[in-house]
Each structure stands twice: as structure tokens, then as C-alpha cells.
Amino acid sequence: MLSRTLRSARWAAPLRVTANSYATARRTVTTDAASAHAEKSAVPAEDDKQFTVSLSPESFENYKIDGPSTELSVSKNELKEMYLNMVTIRRMEMAADKLYKEKKIRGFCHLSTGQEAVAVGIERAITPEDQVITAYRCHGFALMRGASVKSIIGELLGRRDGIAFGKGGSMHMFCKGFYGGNGIVGAQVPVGAGIGFAMKYMGRKNTTFALYGDGASNQGQVFEAYNMAKLWDIPVIFACENNKYGMGTAANRSSALTEYYKRGQYIPGLKVNGMDVLAVKQASAWAKEYTTSGAGPMVMEFVTYRYGGHSMSDPGTTYRTREEVQRMRSTQDPIQGLKQKILDWGIVSEEDIKALEKQAKQMVDKEVKEAEEAPFPESSPGNLFEDIYVPGSEPDFMKGRTLEETHYYSKKA
């Protein structure tokens, strides 16, 4: 369904790249979350032993590269962990949704329900030394990069225990190897190229995922970043999460070329089934390998879907049909898809699934409760003025609303 819409927009493509194109017959990436295949008999008894899973031949589309193999090696443990991760993200997003509706979270809040496979699949393909930067739809990425549910929900609730002391809110989360959480659409993309350059400069075999949306892909900065990255062969993966809409505007109404993976023109591209966590992992691992080999950047496109509205105040049903949302939810869900596969392959029983789901629920519930119980920050000038400059490097004072409110840094508040 999703792919059909994208295809119908192709007539608008101004250019067809043919030279140097390794792309063979035009294929369409599936968004089937349960399209991988494994022989039950090939599944080993041991939890940590690798075995082979075949991804759907429609998992990827390549541009100017051969692309990854559809044969993926995983272990049972890893599959269970992926399942647990995706369920945890969804639970956390649902908790945020509830807190928002209870008016405990205010302001902007963008949920990634439906897009969990992207954050989880990428994380399974990289190490803590690799880097990730994204836009404001960032809760899942923050969690995968090591932030706790408490620190994420605490941030939404504006608590001192929040990951940015409650000062940033939903859009601004940072932790080791994760550069946010960015509110200005597109601004994170050249930042990602700079992070990638540093990897290369330091001689590290690490890559950077610079994520952005289908809407963001039209910002000029994105193209400026592409050029720098290719010019200097920077290990950066420009990863477009194509969830079909930028706010209320459908991709084909904002983008002259909706094949986002080809938008690097002179940069190889890879389009991926973003609803299948296994395909995401395989493609991301391949892209990491490619970008750290010295070959330069890569453009990726994860075909995915957001179930909810753009943000909490958008019901998400005026610019797309309820049927469309329902169809994606019921037939292409990344969590249901993986669940079906690991049940089919005999990796888990129904009881195991329940246990994993309970584990996620209990963890999220506990941390959400702790976040809610955490105190609000004291509204002191000390809290207000901290972190504008590095302690010790600040000016002697900074100004408040009136002269009397001038804050002197030395006079510890």
C-alpha cells in the first residue's frame, strides 16, 4: 500500500540516473514486517548460536551499489532482545501518550509508535562507539542509545531527573553516542556529517547515523551535508525515515523526487523495509561496513509509518484515511511481524512472549512511576542560568528580567 503510493509519485521524478547505476529491474520495497524466512529445522538449540534467516527479496532497493545480502545471521537471544526492545519503546511511547492526555506532559511531544523497528534495527547493527543524531521524534533512539525510561519520561514531565534537567522536553535528549533530539528540521544533518568527519579524522572505524524525515529531506542543509560528506568521503549514513508524511503533507506533495535513497545523486543509496527490524539491522550493518571502509557516505531510506499524529495535538486522520492507518497497524506492524516470525520458528512460545511483554511493561511502569514521583526542579536562578556557559568560563553575571534579578555566578544559588 505504502509502496504503491510512492510508486505513483514516480512520474514526477525529474531525473533518472542511469549511468553508474547498479540498480537492475525496478523493484519495490515491501513493508511487510513478517516477510523473513527461516527453516525451523535450522534453528539451533543454543540461545547464542548464530543461524541464517532469509529476508524477503523485496527488503532492499539499491542505488549505485550492490547492496546487502538477504541472508542474515542472528541468534535466538538477539531476536528475543529485538522483540523486547521494540515492545519497550512502544510501552514507553504509550506511557507518554497517557501522561500527555492527563495533562502531566505539556508542550510538544512527538511519538514514534509504528517506527520502532528503525531505532532497534540500527542499534543492533552498531556499537556504542558509533554515533546517532536525529530530529525531534527521538524517544526510541534515546532509549536504544542507553538512556533510561525514567530519564526520558522525566524529561517530558519537566523533572530535574529528566535527561536534560527538564529544560528540553520531548525533542531534546542526549546521551553518549547520541546527539539528540533536535527541534529545527534538517539542522541535525550537517551536524551528523561533522560528527562523521571526526570519526574519520581520529582514525576510528565508526560511523554516524544522521536521521531525518521525508519532510526534512527538502531542507537545503541536507544537500549541503551530502556534498561535504562525499567530497571528503566521510563515514556518515544519511538515513531518511520516510513515514509518508511531514506533518500534514504527504511525501509526494513536498518532494519532487520521493525516492529518497536516490537523493544523494552521487552518493550510493539503499532503500529498506523499515517495518522489518531484521531488514533494518542487515541494511544498517552493511551501511556501517561500507561507510567505515573508506568509501564515503551513504544515503538510506527506511520505509516506515507513524501510527499517531505528527504531535499530540494532531489526531492524524485529516490528511490520511483511518483505513490507511488501520491497515498499517494491523498488517505491517513491526512488533507483530517479529512476534509471528519468532513464534513460527519455534524460538519462543506464547508464554515466552507474554513473559517478555510483562518484563517490558513492568520495567516501563516502574520507571514511569519513579519519574512521576521525582521532584520538579527548584525554580532558582542557579538552575535557570546553569549550562549557558561552562562553569568557570561564564561571565561574572548574567541578566534577569530586571536589574535586581541579575545572576552572579560566583554567588552560588
Ligand X SMILES: Cc1ncc(C[n+]2csc(CCOP(=O)(O)OP(=O)(O)O)c2C)c(N)n1
| Cell 535513497 found at | 261
Residue 194 contact, options ligand X, another protein, Mg ion, none, Cβ 5-8 Å cut-off depending on partner type: none
Asked if 253 touches another protein (CB under 8 A), the answer is yes
* d(C-alpha 190, C-alpha 221), whole Å: 7
284 lies in the binding site for another protein (CB under 8 A): no
For CA atoms 154, 160, 165, 168, the dihedral sign is positive
Residue 347's SS3 state is coil
Q: What is the pattern of x (binds ligand X, CB under 6 A) and - over residues 159-198?
A: ------------------------xxx-------------
Please report how close the Cβ of residue 394 comes to Mg ion at its closest, in angstroms: 39
> Cα separation of 319 and 250, whole Å?
8
> Is 213 near ligand X (CB under 6 A)?
yes
Q: How far is the CB of 189 from ligand X (least distance, A)?
A: 11
Closest to ligand X by CB, 137 vs 281, is 137
Write the binding mask 20 to 59 for another protein: x where contact by CB under 8 A, - elsewhere: ----------------------------------------
Name beta bridge partners: 52: 73
Least separation, in Å, of the C-beta of 248 and ligand X? 9
CB of 78 to Mg ion, least distance (A): 29
| Residue 173 C-beta: closest distance to ligand X, Å | 15
Task: Please identify which residue in 81, 343, 381, 408 interacts with another protein, judged by CB under 8 A.
Answer: 381
Per-residue contact string for residues 223-262; x = within reach of ligand X by CB under 6 A: --------------------x-xxx---------------
Nearer to another protein, 209 or 385 (CB): 385
Helices (H), 306-405: 322-331, 334-344, 350-373, 381-385
Q: Which of residues 30-89 bind ligand X (CB under 6 A)?
A: none
In DSSP notation, 138-164 reads: -HHHHHHTT--HHHHHHHHTT-TTSTT
Query: Smaller CB distance to Mg ion: residue 67 or 181?
Result: 181
SS3 label, residue 287: helix
The minimum distance between CB 163 and another protein, in angstroms, equals 12
Q: What part of residues 282-321 is at the interface with ligand X (CB under 6 A)?
A: 310
Q: Which of 235, 264, 309, 334 is the binder for another protein (CB under 8 A)?
A: 309
Which stretches of the chain bind Mg ion, using CB under 5 A? 213-214, 243, 246
Quick one: which of 311, 314, 362, 269 has its CA closest to 29? 269
The region of 1-9, 60-68, 228-236, 384-392 touching another protein under the rule CB under 8 A is 384-392
Three-state DSSP at 63 gives strand
Under rule CB under 8 A, residue 67 binds another protein: no
Q: Whats the size of the chain, residue-wise?
A: 413
Q: Are the CB atoms for 358 and 284 separated by under 8 Å?
A: no
Q: Residue 140, interface with ligand X (CB under 6 A)?
A: no
Instruction: Measure the CA–CA gap between 76 and 26, rounded to whole angstroms.
Output: 34
CA distance 302 to 244: 11
The binder of ligand X chosen from 91, 137, 262, 271 (CB under 6 A): 137
- CA–CA separation, 149 and 152 (whole Å): 5
- Out of 379, 390, 392, 393, name the contact with another protein by CB under 8 A: 379
Q: Which residue has the cell 547515523?
A: 209
Where does 42-148 have alpha helices with state H? 76-101, 116-125, 139-144
Question: What is the chain's Cα-based Rg?
Answer: 22
Does position 385 bind another protein by CB under 8 A?
A: yes
Distance of alpha carbon 222 from alpha carbon 262, whole angstroms: 13
DSSP letter, residue 382: H
Dihedral angle computed from the Cα positions of residues 145, 138, 81 and 122, in that order, rounded to the nearest 10 degrees: -80
Placement of cell 532469509 in the chain? 54
Piece of the chain touching another protein by CB under 8 A; list 48-56, 168-176, 262-270, 341-349: 168-176
Interface positions with ligand X (CB under 6 A): 137, 183-185, 212-216, 243, 245-247, 310
The binding site for another protein (CB under 8 A) comprises 106-108, 158-159, 165-169, 171-172, 183-187, 215-216, 218-221, 246-249, 253-255, 309, 311-315, 318-319, 376-377, 379-381, 383-385, 388, 398-405
